[in-house]
Structure 1
Protein backbone atom coordinates (compact mmCIF):
# COMPACT_ATOMS: atom_id res chain seq x y z
CA UNK A 1 0.00 0.00 0.00
CA UNK A 2 1.26 3.49 -0.87
CA UNK A 3 1.49 5.89 2.06
CA UNK A 4 2.56 9.50 2.47
CA UNK A 5 4.15 10.98 5.60
CA UNK A 6 2.90 14.53 6.16
CA UNK A 7 3.80 17.11 8.76
CA UNK A 8 0.70 19.32 8.52
CA UNK A 9 2.09 22.31 10.44
CA UNK A 10 5.57 23.82 10.71
CA UNK A 11 6.45 27.44 11.47
CA UNK A 12 9.97 27.53 10.09
CA UNK A 13 11.49 26.68 6.73
CA UNK A 14 15.05 26.78 5.48
CA UNK A 15 17.68 24.43 4.09
CA UNK A 16 18.31 22.74 7.42
CA UNK A 17 14.59 22.13 7.95
CA UNK A 18 14.34 20.53 4.51
CA UNK A 19 17.36 18.29 5.19
CA UNK A 20 15.93 17.18 8.53
CA UNK A 21 12.50 16.54 7.04
CA UNK A 22 13.97 14.32 4.34
CA UNK A 23 16.22 12.50 6.81
CA UNK A 24 13.16 11.84 8.98
CA UNK A 25 11.29 10.23 6.09
CA UNK A 26 8.73 12.99 5.56
CA UNK A 27 7.17 13.44 2.13
CA UNK A 28 5.15 16.63 2.70
CA UNK A 29 5.47 19.69 4.94
CA UNK A 30 2.81 22.34 5.44
CA UNK A 31 4.52 25.68 6.03
CA UNK A 32 2.27 28.09 7.94
CA UNK A 33 4.27 30.89 9.61
CA UNK A 34 2.59 33.54 11.74
CA UNK A 35 1.73 36.96 10.30
CA UNK A 36 2.96 36.41 6.75
CA UNK A 37 0.77 36.99 3.73
CA UNK A 38 -0.23 34.02 1.62
CA UNK A 39 1.71 35.07 -1.54
CA UNK A 40 4.96 35.26 0.46
CA UNK A 41 4.29 31.90 2.12
CA UNK A 42 3.52 30.33 -1.24
CA UNK A 43 6.70 31.72 -2.80
CA UNK A 44 8.84 30.33 0.03
CA UNK A 45 7.10 26.95 -0.09
CA UNK A 46 7.70 26.66 -3.82
CA UNK A 47 11.36 27.57 -3.41
CA UNK A 48 11.99 24.71 -0.99
CA UNK A 49 9.88 22.05 -2.75
CA UNK A 50 11.57 19.42 -4.89
CA UNK A 51 11.02 15.85 -6.08
CA UNK A 52 11.81 14.45 -2.62
CA UNK A 53 9.80 16.86 -0.47
CA UNK A 54 6.60 18.73 -1.25
CA UNK A 55 6.17 21.95 0.74
CA UNK A 56 2.58 23.24 0.82
CA UNK A 57 1.62 26.77 1.93
CA UNK A 58 -0.80 27.13 4.83
CA UNK A 59 -2.26 29.94 6.93
CA UNK A 60 -2.85 29.67 10.66
CA UNK A 61 -5.30 32.53 10.90
CA UNK A 62 -5.58 34.44 14.20
CA UNK A 63 -9.31 35.07 14.50
CA UNK A 64 -10.63 37.48 17.09
CA UNK A 65 -8.66 39.95 19.19
CA UNK A 66 -5.32 39.41 20.92
CA UNK A 67 -7.19 38.79 24.17
CA UNK A 68 -9.71 36.33 22.72
CA UNK A 69 -7.99 34.99 19.65
CA UNK A 70 -8.71 31.56 18.20
CA UNK A 71 -6.38 29.88 15.72
CA UNK A 72 -7.56 27.96 12.67
CA UNK A 73 -5.28 26.34 10.08
CA UNK A 74 -6.36 26.59 6.42
CA UNK A 75 -4.66 24.68 3.58
CA UNK A 76 -5.47 25.25 -0.07
CA UNK A 77 -6.38 28.93 0.01
CA UNK A 78 -6.35 30.65 -3.37
CA UNK A 79 -6.92 34.15 -1.96
CA UNK A 80 -5.40 35.74 1.16
CA UNK A 81 -7.33 35.79 4.43
CA UNK A 82 -6.18 38.25 7.12
CA UNK A 83 -5.78 37.82 10.85
CA UNK A 84 -7.91 39.69 13.40
CA UNK A 85 -11.28 38.99 11.81
CA UNK A 86 -14.14 37.15 13.45
CA UNK A 87 -14.09 33.38 13.55
CA UNK A 88 -17.40 33.32 11.70
CA UNK A 89 -15.99 35.39 8.84
CA UNK A 90 -12.86 33.25 8.60
CA UNK A 91 -14.86 30.02 8.46
CA UNK A 92 -17.14 31.44 5.76
CA UNK A 93 -14.14 32.44 3.70
CA UNK A 94 -12.43 29.05 4.09
CA UNK A 95 -15.62 27.32 3.00
CA UNK A 96 -16.04 29.68 0.04
CA UNK A 97 -12.51 28.89 -1.14
CA UNK A 98 -12.93 25.14 -0.54
CA UNK A 99 -9.87 25.06 1.69
CA UNK A 100 -9.09 22.23 4.08
CA UNK A 101 -9.81 23.46 7.62
CA UNK A 102 -7.82 22.02 10.53
CA UNK A 103 -8.04 22.69 14.25
CA UNK A 104 -4.54 23.10 15.69
CA UNK A 105 -3.93 22.48 19.41
CA UNK A 106 -7.62 22.43 20.52
CA UNK A 107 -8.32 23.77 24.05
CA UNK A 108 -4.61 24.63 24.39
CA UNK A 109 -4.05 27.73 26.55
CA UNK A 110 -6.15 30.68 25.35
CA UNK A 111 -5.58 30.46 21.60
CA UNK A 112 -7.57 27.44 20.50
CA UNK A 113 -11.04 26.26 19.59
CA UNK A 114 -12.82 24.54 22.45
CA UNK A 115 -15.13 21.56 22.22
CA UNK A 116 -18.27 23.67 21.83
CA UNK A 117 -16.83 25.68 18.92
CA UNK A 118 -15.45 22.58 17.18
CA UNK A 119 -18.89 21.00 17.40
CA UNK A 120 -20.51 24.17 16.03
CA UNK A 121 -18.29 24.13 12.95
CA UNK A 122 -17.97 20.37 12.51
CA UNK A 123 -19.39 20.58 8.98
CA UNK A 124 -16.60 22.97 7.95
CA UNK A 125 -13.72 21.42 9.92
CA UNK A 126 -11.83 18.55 8.28
CA UNK A 127 -9.57 17.34 11.11
CA UNK A 128 -8.56 17.95 14.72
CA UNK A 129 -4.97 17.90 15.92
CA UNK A 130 -4.60 15.33 18.68
CA UNK A 131 -0.83 15.40 19.10
CA UNK A 132 1.96 17.93 18.84
CA UNK A 133 5.19 18.34 20.84
CA UNK A 134 3.99 21.49 22.61
CA UNK A 135 1.08 19.57 24.14
CA UNK A 136 1.22 17.96 27.55
CA UNK A 137 -0.38 14.48 27.82
CA UNK A 138 -3.55 16.04 29.23
CA UNK A 139 -3.84 18.29 26.19
CA UNK A 140 -3.55 15.30 23.87
CA UNK A 141 -6.22 13.40 25.80
CA UNK A 142 -8.63 16.33 25.67
CA UNK A 143 -7.99 16.78 21.95
CA UNK A 144 -8.68 13.11 21.25
CA UNK A 145 -11.91 13.32 23.23
CA UNK A 146 -13.04 16.30 21.13
CA UNK A 147 -12.21 14.50 17.89
CA UNK A 148 -14.05 11.35 18.95
CA UNK A 149 -17.13 13.18 20.26
CA UNK A 150 -17.44 15.27 17.09
CA UNK A 151 -16.61 12.31 14.85
CA UNK A 152 -13.80 14.24 13.13
CA UNK A 153 -10.54 12.75 11.79
CA UNK A 154 -7.39 13.17 13.86
CA UNK A 155 -3.90 14.30 12.89
CA UNK A 156 -0.50 14.91 14.47
CA UNK A 157 2.01 17.59 13.54
CA UNK A 158 5.38 18.76 14.79
CA UNK A 159 4.02 22.33 15.10
CA UNK A 160 7.73 23.07 14.89
CA UNK A 161 8.84 26.51 15.99
CA UNK A 162 12.35 25.11 16.50
CA UNK A 163 14.30 23.42 13.71
CA UNK A 164 15.12 20.37 15.78
CA UNK A 165 11.45 19.50 16.21
CA UNK A 166 10.86 18.83 12.51
CA UNK A 167 10.34 15.08 12.09
CA UNK A 168 9.25 14.53 15.69
CA UNK A 169 5.52 14.15 14.88
CA UNK A 170 3.63 13.59 11.64
CA UNK A 171 0.61 11.92 10.07
CA UNK A 172 0.77 8.99 7.66
CA UNK A 173 -1.97 8.92 5.02
CA UNK A 174 -2.91 5.78 3.08
CA UNK A 175 -2.53 7.31 -0.37
CA UNK A 176 -0.05 9.13 -2.59
CA UNK A 177 0.04 12.92 -2.37
CA UNK A 178 1.84 14.76 -5.14
CA UNK A 179 0.61 18.34 -4.92
CA UNK A 180 -1.31 20.86 -2.82
CA UNK A 181 -4.72 19.98 -4.23
CA UNK A 182 -4.23 16.28 -3.54
CA UNK A 183 -3.35 17.11 0.07
CA UNK A 184 -6.47 19.26 0.42
CA UNK A 185 -8.67 16.52 -1.03
CA UNK A 186 -7.04 13.92 1.21
CA UNK A 187 -7.82 16.01 4.28
CA UNK A 188 -11.35 16.80 3.15
CA UNK A 189 -12.27 13.26 2.15
CA UNK A 190 -11.33 11.64 5.43
CA UNK A 191 -8.70 9.32 3.91
CA UNK A 192 -7.47 6.87 6.52
CA UNK A 193 -4.52 8.28 8.43
CA UNK A 194 -2.35 7.45 11.43
CA UNK A 195 -1.02 10.18 13.74
CA UNK A 196 2.56 9.34 14.70
CA UNK A 197 5.42 10.63 16.83
CA UNK A 198 8.85 9.42 17.82
CA UNK A 199 8.79 7.22 20.96
CA UNK A 200 12.28 7.74 22.38
CA UNK A 201 13.50 9.80 25.34
CA UNK A 202 15.04 12.37 23.01
CA UNK A 203 11.54 13.10 21.76
CA UNK A 204 10.40 14.01 25.27
CA UNK A 205 13.35 16.37 25.58
CA UNK A 206 12.41 17.99 22.30
CA UNK A 207 8.82 18.38 23.53
CA UNK A 208 10.09 20.15 26.65
CA UNK A 209 12.13 22.58 24.53
CA UNK A 210 9.15 23.36 22.33
CA UNK A 211 6.92 24.02 25.34
CA UNK A 212 9.58 26.25 26.91
CA UNK A 213 9.68 28.22 23.68
CA UNK A 214 6.12 29.35 24.45
CA UNK A 215 7.43 31.63 27.20
CA UNK A 216 9.45 33.66 24.74
CA UNK A 217 6.84 33.54 22.01
CA UNK A 218 3.98 34.69 24.24
CA UNK A 219 5.85 37.34 26.24
CA UNK A 220 8.84 39.15 24.77
CA UNK A 221 7.99 38.40 21.16
CA UNK A 222 4.36 39.40 21.62
CA UNK A 223 5.38 42.60 23.37
CA UNK A 224 7.57 43.46 20.41
CA UNK A 225 4.69 42.89 18.01
CA UNK A 226 2.20 44.87 20.05
CA UNK A 227 4.40 47.77 21.15
CA UNK A 228 7.12 48.11 18.54
CA UNK A 229 6.06 46.56 15.27
CA UNK A 230 2.77 48.36 14.69
CA UNK A 231 0.14 46.64 12.60
CA UNK A 232 0.93 43.25 11.12
CA UNK A 233 1.10 42.74 7.36
CA UNK A 234 -1.88 40.41 7.78
CA UNK A 235 -4.08 43.03 9.45
CA UNK A 236 -7.40 43.34 7.59
CA UNK A 237 -6.92 47.07 6.93
CA UNK A 238 -3.76 46.41 4.93
CA UNK A 239 -4.23 47.52 1.29
CA UNK A 240 -3.45 43.96 0.15
CA UNK A 241 -6.96 42.91 1.27
CA UNK A 242 -8.65 45.72 -0.67
CA UNK A 243 -11.18 46.40 2.10
CA UNK A 244 -12.89 43.02 1.66
CA UNK A 245 -12.75 42.22 5.37
CA UNK A 246 -13.49 45.65 6.84
CA UNK A 247 -16.88 44.54 8.19
CA UNK A 248 -15.35 41.46 9.84
CA UNK A 249 -12.31 43.15 11.41
CA UNK A 250 -12.11 43.17 15.22
CA UNK A 251 -9.61 46.07 15.29
Structure 2
Protein backbone atom coordinates (compact mmCIF):
# COMPACT_ATOMS: atom_id res chain seq x y z
CA UNK A 1 0.00 0.00 0.00
CA UNK A 2 2.91 2.39 0.41
CA UNK A 3 6.47 2.28 -0.90
CA UNK A 4 9.08 5.00 -1.32
CA UNK A 5 11.39 3.25 -3.78
CA UNK A 6 10.65 2.07 -7.30
CA UNK A 7 12.94 0.46 -9.87
CA UNK A 8 13.34 -2.87 -11.66
CA UNK A 9 14.58 -4.61 -8.50
CA UNK A 10 11.55 -3.40 -6.56
CA UNK A 11 9.23 -4.69 -9.27
CA UNK A 12 10.97 -8.06 -9.36
CA UNK A 13 10.77 -8.40 -5.60
CA UNK A 14 7.10 -7.38 -5.53
CA UNK A 15 6.21 -10.00 -8.12
CA UNK A 16 8.25 -12.66 -6.32
CA UNK A 17 6.33 -11.87 -3.13
CA UNK A 18 3.00 -12.29 -4.95
CA UNK A 19 1.92 -8.67 -4.90
CA UNK A 20 -0.50 -7.33 -7.50
CA UNK A 21 -0.43 -3.60 -6.66
CA UNK A 22 2.08 -1.15 -5.21
CA UNK A 23 1.22 2.39 -4.12
CA UNK A 24 4.28 4.50 -4.93
CA UNK A 25 4.43 7.65 -2.78
CA UNK A 26 8.00 9.00 -2.53
CA UNK A 27 8.82 11.99 -0.36
CA UNK A 28 9.12 15.48 -1.89
CA UNK A 29 8.27 14.47 -5.47
CA UNK A 30 5.47 16.15 -7.40
CA UNK A 31 2.46 14.15 -8.52
CA UNK A 32 3.12 14.36 -12.30
CA UNK A 33 6.59 12.84 -11.81
CA UNK A 34 5.23 10.14 -9.49
CA UNK A 35 2.50 9.31 -11.97
CA UNK A 36 4.96 9.06 -14.88
CA UNK A 37 7.28 6.73 -12.97
CA UNK A 38 4.37 4.59 -11.76
CA UNK A 39 3.23 4.19 -15.36
CA UNK A 40 6.75 3.26 -16.46
CA UNK A 41 6.96 0.34 -14.04
CA UNK A 42 3.38 -0.96 -14.39
CA UNK A 43 2.67 -4.01 -16.53
CA UNK A 44 0.15 -6.85 -16.78
CA UNK A 45 1.53 -8.51 -13.64
CA UNK A 46 1.94 -5.50 -11.38
CA UNK A 47 -0.03 -2.26 -11.17
CA UNK A 48 1.87 0.69 -9.67
CA UNK A 49 -0.50 3.36 -8.36
CA UNK A 50 0.72 6.93 -7.74
CA UNK A 51 0.20 8.36 -4.27
CA UNK A 52 1.35 11.30 -2.15
CA UNK A 53 2.32 11.21 1.51
CA UNK A 54 1.72 14.85 2.29
CA UNK A 55 3.72 16.47 5.11
CA UNK A 56 1.27 18.86 6.80
CA UNK A 57 2.29 21.39 9.42
CA UNK A 58 5.84 22.58 10.00
CA UNK A 59 8.88 20.34 10.44
CA UNK A 60 8.51 20.19 14.23
CA UNK A 61 4.78 19.49 14.18
CA UNK A 62 4.23 17.23 11.20
CA UNK A 63 1.10 15.26 10.44
CA UNK A 64 1.51 12.87 7.52
CA UNK A 65 -1.48 12.06 5.32
CA UNK A 66 -1.42 9.50 2.50
CA UNK A 67 -3.58 10.40 -0.50
CA UNK A 68 -4.47 8.08 -3.40
CA UNK A 69 -6.46 9.16 -6.44
CA UNK A 70 -5.28 12.76 -6.73
CA UNK A 71 -5.85 14.60 -9.99
CA UNK A 72 -3.97 17.79 -9.11
CA UNK A 73 -0.66 18.19 -7.25
CA UNK A 74 -0.76 19.03 -3.54
CA UNK A 75 2.38 20.43 -1.85
CA UNK A 76 3.96 19.55 1.46
CA UNK A 77 4.08 21.84 4.51
CA UNK A 78 0.61 23.25 4.34
CA UNK A 79 -1.84 23.22 7.24
CA UNK A 80 -3.71 20.01 8.00
CA UNK A 81 -6.98 21.86 7.42
CA UNK A 82 -5.74 23.05 4.05
CA UNK A 83 -4.62 19.58 3.02
CA UNK A 84 -7.84 17.88 4.09
CA UNK A 85 -9.93 20.46 2.28
CA UNK A 86 -7.97 19.94 -0.93
CA UNK A 87 -8.14 16.15 -0.71
CA UNK A 88 -11.90 16.33 -0.17
CA UNK A 89 -12.23 18.63 -3.17
CA UNK A 90 -10.45 16.09 -5.33
CA UNK A 91 -12.31 13.09 -3.96
CA UNK A 92 -9.08 11.27 -3.07
CA UNK A 93 -8.85 8.30 -0.74
CA UNK A 94 -7.33 9.60 2.51
CA UNK A 95 -5.25 7.28 4.69
CA UNK A 96 -3.56 7.85 8.04
CA UNK A 97 -0.11 6.21 8.05
CA UNK A 98 1.69 5.20 11.29
CA UNK A 99 -0.81 6.72 13.79
CA UNK A 100 0.70 8.38 16.88
CA UNK A 101 4.23 7.55 15.74
CA UNK A 102 6.89 10.00 16.98
CA UNK A 103 6.03 13.56 15.90
CA UNK A 104 5.05 12.73 12.32
CA UNK A 105 1.57 11.29 12.62
CA UNK A 106 -2.08 11.94 13.18
CA UNK A 107 -2.99 11.24 16.80
CA UNK A 108 -6.23 9.82 18.12
CA UNK A 109 -7.65 13.32 18.54
CA UNK A 110 -6.78 14.22 14.93
CA UNK A 111 -8.39 11.00 13.72
CA UNK A 112 -11.60 11.78 15.57
CA UNK A 113 -11.63 15.33 14.23
CA UNK A 114 -11.23 14.16 10.66
CA UNK A 115 -13.18 10.91 10.92
CA UNK A 116 -15.49 11.94 8.10
CA UNK A 117 -12.58 12.41 5.70
CA UNK A 118 -10.23 9.54 6.64
CA UNK A 119 -10.89 6.23 4.90
CA UNK A 120 -8.39 3.93 6.65
CA UNK A 121 -5.75 3.88 9.37
CA UNK A 122 -2.49 1.95 9.18
CA UNK A 123 -2.45 -1.03 11.51
CA UNK A 124 1.17 -2.05 10.88
CA UNK A 125 4.36 -1.23 9.00
CA UNK A 126 7.98 -2.33 9.63
CA UNK A 127 8.96 0.97 11.28
CA UNK A 128 6.38 0.42 14.02
CA UNK A 129 8.42 -1.44 16.61
CA UNK A 130 7.30 -2.52 20.08
CA UNK A 131 4.76 -0.23 21.72
CA UNK A 132 4.25 1.77 18.51
CA UNK A 133 2.96 -1.35 16.78
CA UNK A 134 0.73 -2.16 19.76
CA UNK A 135 -0.60 1.40 19.77
CA UNK A 136 -1.44 1.37 16.05
CA UNK A 137 -3.32 -1.94 16.35
CA UNK A 138 -5.13 -0.64 19.43
CA UNK A 139 -6.25 2.55 17.67
CA UNK A 140 -7.55 0.63 14.66
CA UNK A 141 -9.33 -1.98 16.77
CA UNK A 142 -10.73 0.24 19.53
CA UNK A 143 -12.03 2.96 17.24
CA UNK A 144 -13.18 0.50 14.56
CA UNK A 145 -11.18 1.95 11.68
CA UNK A 146 -10.86 0.24 8.33
CA UNK A 147 -7.23 -0.98 8.45
CA UNK A 148 -4.40 -1.09 5.99
CA UNK A 149 -0.86 -2.40 6.23
CA UNK A 150 2.18 -1.48 4.19
CA UNK A 151 5.87 -2.17 3.88
CA UNK A 152 6.42 1.62 4.01
CA UNK A 153 9.54 0.56 2.14
CA UNK A 154 12.37 3.08 1.98
CA UNK A 155 14.67 0.09 1.37
CA UNK A 156 14.20 -2.41 -1.47
CA UNK A 157 14.41 -5.49 0.72
CA UNK A 158 11.36 -4.35 2.71
CA UNK A 159 9.05 -4.81 -0.30
CA UNK A 160 6.49 -7.47 0.52
CA UNK A 161 7.15 -7.54 4.25
CA UNK A 162 3.62 -6.26 4.89
CA UNK A 163 0.58 -6.26 2.63
CA UNK A 164 -3.17 -5.63 2.48
CA UNK A 165 -5.38 -8.26 0.86
CA UNK A 166 -8.75 -7.14 -0.51
CA UNK A 167 -11.52 -9.61 -1.23
CA UNK A 168 -12.24 -7.89 -4.54
CA UNK A 169 -9.98 -7.72 -7.58
CA UNK A 170 -8.29 -4.37 -8.20
CA UNK A 171 -7.16 -3.66 -11.75
CA UNK A 172 -6.85 0.14 -11.73
CA UNK A 173 -6.13 3.16 -9.58
CA UNK A 174 -9.83 4.04 -9.61
CA UNK A 175 -10.78 0.57 -8.34
CA UNK A 176 -8.30 0.87 -5.47
CA UNK A 177 -9.67 4.30 -4.55
CA UNK A 178 -13.21 2.90 -4.60
CA UNK A 179 -12.22 -0.06 -2.41
CA UNK A 180 -10.69 2.31 0.14
CA UNK A 181 -13.45 4.91 0.18
CA UNK A 182 -16.20 2.26 0.29
CA UNK A 183 -14.58 0.37 3.16
CA UNK A 184 -14.20 -2.85 1.17
CA UNK A 185 -13.35 -5.95 3.18
CA UNK A 186 -9.64 -6.56 3.59
CA UNK A 187 -7.03 -8.21 5.80
CA UNK A 188 -3.55 -7.04 6.80
CA UNK A 189 -0.76 -9.62 6.62
CA UNK A 190 2.96 -9.57 7.33
CA UNK A 191 6.07 -11.69 7.35
CA UNK A 192 7.39 -13.02 10.65
CA UNK A 193 10.60 -14.40 12.08
CA UNK A 194 14.18 -13.26 12.43
CA UNK A 195 14.48 -11.99 8.85
CA UNK A 196 11.42 -9.80 9.21
CA UNK A 197 12.70 -8.44 12.50
CA UNK A 198 16.03 -7.56 10.90
CA UNK A 199 14.36 -5.74 8.02
CA UNK A 200 12.14 -3.86 10.50
CA UNK A 201 15.22 -2.67 12.38
CA UNK A 202 16.89 -1.60 9.13
CA UNK A 203 13.84 0.45 8.16
CA UNK A 204 13.70 2.05 11.60
CA UNK A 205 17.40 2.94 11.41
CA UNK A 206 16.71 4.73 8.13
CA UNK A 207 14.77 7.33 10.11
CA UNK A 208 18.12 8.81 11.18
CA UNK A 209 18.79 10.03 7.65
CA UNK A 210 15.17 10.81 6.88
CA UNK A 211 14.97 13.25 9.79
CA UNK A 212 18.45 14.74 9.59
CA UNK A 213 18.83 18.52 9.75
CA UNK A 214 21.00 18.53 6.64
CA UNK A 215 18.12 17.08 4.67
CA UNK A 216 15.67 19.59 6.12
CA UNK A 217 18.02 22.46 5.31
CA UNK A 218 18.60 21.23 1.76
CA UNK A 219 14.93 20.77 1.05
CA UNK A 220 13.15 23.76 2.46
CA UNK A 221 15.26 26.84 2.85
CA UNK A 222 15.16 28.02 -0.74
CA UNK A 223 11.46 27.54 -1.49
CA UNK A 224 12.23 26.26 -4.99
CA UNK A 225 12.03 22.51 -4.33
CA UNK A 226 9.28 20.59 -6.18
CA UNK A 227 6.78 20.18 -3.31
CA UNK A 228 7.43 23.45 -1.48
CA UNK A 229 4.02 25.17 -1.21
CA UNK A 230 5.37 28.42 -2.69
CA UNK A 231 6.94 26.72 -5.70
CA UNK A 232 5.92 28.40 -8.94
CA UNK A 233 4.23 25.21 -10.13
CA UNK A 234 1.39 25.69 -7.60
CA UNK A 235 0.67 29.18 -8.96
CA UNK A 236 0.01 30.62 -5.50
CA UNK A 237 -2.98 28.36 -4.82
CA UNK A 238 -1.63 27.25 -1.44
CA UNK A 239 -0.03 30.48 -0.22
CA UNK A 240 -2.81 31.06 2.32
CA UNK A 241 -2.27 27.66 3.98
CA UNK A 242 1.54 27.39 3.61
CA UNK A 243 3.55 27.11 6.83
CA UNK A 244 6.90 27.95 5.16
Q: TM-score, normalised by structure 1?
A: 0.93
Match of 1:88 among 59, 81, 86: 81
Match of 2:149 among 151, 156, 177: 156
Structure 1 spans left out of the alignment, 5+ residues: 1-7
Q: How far 1:160 sits from its partner (Å)?
A: 0.2
Residue equivalent to 1:24: 17
The alignment partner of 1:211 has SS state of helix
- Whole-Å separation in 2 of the counterparts to 1:212 and 1:228: 25
Q: 2:121 matched to which residue of 1? A: 128
- What are the within-5 Å matches in structure 2 for residues 1-251 of structure 1? 8-219=1-212, 222-223=215-216, 225-226=218-219, 231-251=224-244
- State the Cα distance separating 1:199 from its structure 2 match: 1.5
Q: Deviations over 1:112-158 (max 9, x none)?
A: 00000011101100000010001113112211222233321011100
How large is the Cα RMSD of the aligned pairs?
Answer: 1.4
- Shifted more, 30-39 versus 238-247: the winner is 238-247
For structure 2, list consecutive stretches of 5 or more residues without a partner in the other structure.
Answer: none
Q: How many residues align?
A: 244
Distance 1:158 1:229, change over 3 A: farther
Task: Provide the secondary structure at the position in 1 that maps to 2:189.
Answer: strand
**Highest RCO, 1 vs 2 (Cα 8 Å, sep ≥ 6):** 1
Using structure 2 for the length normalisation, give the TM-score.
Answer: 0.96
Mapped partners of 2:240, 2:142: distance in 1: 34
